[in-house]
Chain A
Amino acid sequence: MSALTEPGVPGRVGESDSPLRRFLADFFESRVATAAFAVLLGIVFIALFAPWISPTNPYDLATVDILDNRLPPGSEGFTGQIFWLGTDGAGRDVLSAIFYGLRTSLAVGVMSGVIAMFIGSSIGLVAAYFGGRTDTLIMRVVDVQLSFPAILVALVLLALLGKGVDKIIIALVAVQWAYYARTVRASALVERSKEYVEAAACLALGHRRILFRHVLPNCLPPLIVVVTVQTAHAISLEATLSFLGIGLPITEPSLGLLIANGFEYMLSQKYWISIYPGIALLVTIVTINLVGDQLRDVLNPRLQR
């Protein structure tokens, strides 16, 4: 009866017209973003399956031959294999090293991003929902945290903690949680005052349920954008720290460490040892940022079409 007397919004009546589907349609409208997303998928694929798709295992001492060291790109090695991107100072295949390096860099970036997101957004939610002193205390800590340069905080923490994948993840989380807390608090403050939250309170639903089932899902759009941007940031920060020699141990080289390894050969025309890992790092960060930019455009309520 009501369907006849109260016409719905035309063109938006399909049963499965979920917010997710609309979001995907908007996202892939941009060709640049679609291309960036495809490249990013490729990078993630390489990182996930590096041990199976790289030509050699650069860290298996049985297959690496020191006689192959510093070969230029495209040259043939001692055992007859071709090193498409050359070899480094220890005779390792640069292409394979990049594949393994991507694996480490992405793993560190994504893990620290996800952990920082969980910690930061929970703290931000609590601050917004309970308000008052809790809010003031948390947000002042965030302000202090954000007033220090990220690299400085990470340097000090790593100096205290030492080297290792777990240590650098701890350092990156410590640097980045505040961004998530601030973002989630801002949008949770807006959502909290909406009537559907009052309705949930009136239905005697518990605090935790209201926070995580009602408020948090509506804070997701800005959070997703921050996750992508901060993951890219984490990867470049990790590369910087590794380049400086205080991030990852030499046994688990990331892209930053590869760049540092080849740095000494730059001036002696052996550019490939540093340049190619550098390009891989650049492409990774640029594609993540492009995807993040498109996410921001699609999810921004003020630009909603």
Chain B
Amino acid sequence: MSGSALVEIQGLSKRFVKTLDLAGKLANKLGSSIREETVHALDGVDMTVAKGEVVGLVGESGCGKSTLGRIVAGILAPSEGRILYDGRDVAALAPAEAKAVALKAQMIFQDPFASLNPRMRVRDIVGEAPLVHGLVTRGELESYVDEVLLRCGLDTSFKRRYPHQFSGGQRQRIGIARALAVRPDFIVCDEAVAALDVSIQAQILNLFIKLREELGLTYLFISHDLGVVEHISDRVYIMYLGRIVEMAVTEDLFAAPNHPYTKALLREVPRLETRHSDFLPVEGEIPSPLDPPRGCHFHPRCPHATRRCGEEAPTLREISPGRQSACHLNDGV
């Protein structure tokens, strides 16, 4: 970890509760037992992101990584826990400061088709927020939008066009330009290249790397694609069913994964040098977050599970400098 923490997440939990409607309450009065459904999307997540760092967040779909990204970007509110931005609690800021901090953390979305308003021209998509927040005056807007578009590899003549006139890669660049236009420090990329062709993926990843060098950006890079994460990240967090199970520097993690879940994930990355013919899927299905298993969330699928794993949830502990894992096996049982 280099430098001080830009974003620090402490004990973050998010529950989505589906409350009972009138009919449900009535049915309960009459003797049936319909429960309120609670999805535990995040369960006590701790994470730090240092200034200028690229942090990868990996997990299967449905494990809560997008929820985490949306909370960090300020779109969703956490149920529990705190987010410190530059050492200050985001929830305790005065409204004006809160808005400034909200602009400092921006998000790039997965779907380049749904993430741009189809009824706005590129100029308005990119230029709306800077103008509304007074970052630029109306007179400066045109040249400012030009500058942001060029930085993202877009032609300035695209300004008057609508999103439907662009390809997926170009739309993703517009989405990046929209985020950059409010001069953020921290960008959450939620599966930002997952919907793109492989060749376009590489271009967008290179754009992320270039922007980081030019603007000193910090990224939280959410993906299910280990190859992409290995390419771009300095450190990687592995998430399983709402909990962080392992954190390590990228090289260490890929060289010697510690947690059984990470091992299972890494075994399945296709590689040129170790071409194995047998693809073994991780045994079983990811359990429902409506009713997560007791103890370690991974124990029903873990080949090394002991009785303790089904009773006591392992905590995320440092197992060597700069490396954390949440597994009872590290206790030398």
- Give residues in A with beta carbon < 8 Å to B: 1-3, 5-9, 12-13, 15-19, 194-196, 198-205, 209, 213-214, 217-218
Give A109 to B73 CA distance when docked, in angstroms: 47
Contacting A15 at CB < 8 Å: which of B103, B114, B161, B182? Answer: B161
A-B contact pairs, 23 of them (CB 8 A): A1-B153, A3-B155, A6-B167, A6-B170, A7-B167, A8-B165, A8-B166, A8-B167, A12-B164, A13-B165, A17-B161, A17-B165, A19-B164, A195-B109, A198-B70, A198-B75, A198-B115, A199-B109, A202-B106, A203-B128, A204-B74, A217-B119, A218-B119
Determine how close the nearest CB of chain A comes to the CB of B327; give it in whole angstroms. Answer: 34
Q: Does B280 belong to the interface (CB within 8 Å)?
A: no
Contacting B170 at CB < 8 Å: which of A2, A15, A17, A217? Answer: A2
Q: Does B107 belong to the interface (CB within 8 Å)?
A: yes
Q: Is the CB of A204 within 8 A of B167?
A: no
As a 0/1 sequence over residues 88 to 111 of chain B, the CB contacts with chain A under 8 angstroms (1 = contact) are 000000000001001101110111
Q: Does B294 belong to the interface (CB within 8 Å)?
A: no
Contacts of B162 in A (CB 8 A): 17-19
Give A18 to B118 CA distance when docked, in angstroms: 10
Q: Does B200 belong to the interface (CB within 8 Å)?
A: yes
Determine how close the nearest CB of chain B comes to the CB of A209; give it in whole angstroms. Answer: 7
Give A13 to B70 CA distance when docked, in angstroms: 34
Complex: chain A residue closest to B73, CB-CB = A202
Q: Is the CB of B75 within 8 A of A202?
A: yes
Determine how close the nearest CB of chain A comes to the CB of B13; give it in whole angstroms. Answer: 21
Contacts of A5 in B (CB 8 A): 203
Determine how close the nearest CB of chain B comes to the CB of A250; give it in whole angstroms. Answer: 47
Contacting B154 at CB < 8 Å: which of A2, A198, A202, A217? Answer: A2
Q: Is the CB of A203 within 8 A of B116?
A: no
Give A213 to B175 CA distance when docked, in angstroms: 18
Q: Does B132 belong to the interface (CB within 8 Å)?
A: yes
Determine how close the nearest CB of chain B comes to the CB of A131; give it in whole angstroms. Answer: 12
Contacts of A200 in B (CB 8 A): 117
Determine how close the nearest CB of chain B comes to the CB of A193; give it in whole angstroms. Answer: 9
Contacts of B103 in A (CB 8 A): 203-204
Which residues of chain B (192-240) have a CB below 8 Å from chain A?
200, 203
Q: Does B65 belong to the interface (CB within 8 Å)?
A: no
Complex: chain B residue closest to A15, CB-CB = B160
Contacting B129 at CB < 8 Å: which of A2, A8, A19, A204? Answer: A204
With most chain B CB atoms within 10 A of its CB, the pick from A16, A198, A209 is A198
Give A217 to B70 CA distance when docked, in angstroms: 25
Q: Does B169 belong to the interface (CB within 8 Å)?
A: yes
Q: Does B133 belong to the interface (CB within 8 Å)?
A: yes
Instruction: Contacts A202-B106, A204-B99, A204-B102 given; indicate if A12 touches B165 (C-beta within 8 A).
Output: yes
Number of interface residues of B (CB under 8 A): 43
Instruction: Contacts A202-B74, A202-B107, A204-B99 given; indicate if A2 touches B155 (C-beta within 8 A).
Output: yes
Q: A196-B116, A202-B74, A202-B102 are in contact. List 13 more A-B contacts (CB 8 A).
A: A2-B153, A6-B200, A7-B167, A12-B165, A17-B165, A196-B114, A198-B109, A199-B107, A199-B115, A203-B182, A205-B129, A217-B119, A218-B117
Complex: chain A residue closest to B124, CB-CB = A213
Determine how close the nearest CB of chain A comes to the CB of B119; give it in whole angstroms. Answer: 4
As a 0/1 sequence over residues 64 to 75 of chain B, the CB contacts with chain A under 8 angstroms (1 = contact) are 000000100111
Contacts of A203 in B (CB 8 A): 103, 106, 128-129, 178, 182
Complex: chain B residue closest to A22, CB-CB = B164
Give A201 to B71 CA distance when docked, in angstroms: 12
Contacting B118 at CB < 8 Å: which of A7, A9, A17, A19? Answer: A19
Determine how close the nearest CB of chain B comes to the CB of A20; give it in whole angstroms. Answer: 10
Determine how close the nearest CB of chain A comes to the CB of B165; give it in whole angstroms. Answer: 5
Give A195 to B125 CA distance when docked, in angstroms: 13
Contacts of A18 in B (CB 8 A): 162
Give A12 to B161 CA distance when docked, in angstroms: 10
Complex: chain B residue closest to A217, CB-CB = B119
Complex: chain B residue closest to A198, CB-CB = B75
Q: Does B173 belong to the interface (CB within 8 Å)?
A: yes
Determine how close the nearest CB of chain B comes to the CB of A220; give it in whole angstroms. Answer: 8
Q: Is the CB of A214 within 8 A of B155?
A: no
Q: Is the CB of A8 within 8 A of B70?
A: no
Give A205 to B129 CA distance when docked, in angstroms: 7
Complex: chain A residue closest to B100, CB-CB = A204
With most chain B CB atoms within 10 A of its CB, the pick from A7, A18, A203 is A203
Contacts of A6 in B (CB 8 A): 167, 169-170, 200, 203
Q: Is the CB of B129 within 8 A of A9?
A: no
Give A209 to B162 CA distance when docked, in angstroms: 20
4 closest Cβ contacts across the A-B interface?
Answer: A195-B115, A203-B129, A195-B109, A6-B169
Give A57 to B170 CA distance when docked, in angstroms: 62
Complex: chain A residue closest to B154, CB-CB = A2
Which residues of chain B (133-176) have a CB below 8 Å from chain A?
133, 153-155, 157, 160-162, 164-167, 169-170, 173, 175
Complex: chain B residue closest to A218, CB-CB = B119
Give A213 to B124 CA distance when docked, in angstroms: 11
Give A196 to B175 CA distance when docked, in angstroms: 9
Which residues of chain B (68-86) have a CB below 8 Å from chain A?
70, 73-75
Complex: chain A residue closest to B182, CB-CB = A203
Determine how close the nearest CB of chain B comes to the CB of A184; give it in whole angstroms. Answer: 15
Contacts of B166 in A (CB 8 A): 8-9
Contacts of A195 in B (CB 8 A): 109-111, 114-115
Q: Is the CB of A2 within 8 A of B173?
A: yes
Complex: chain A residue closest to B101, CB-CB = A204
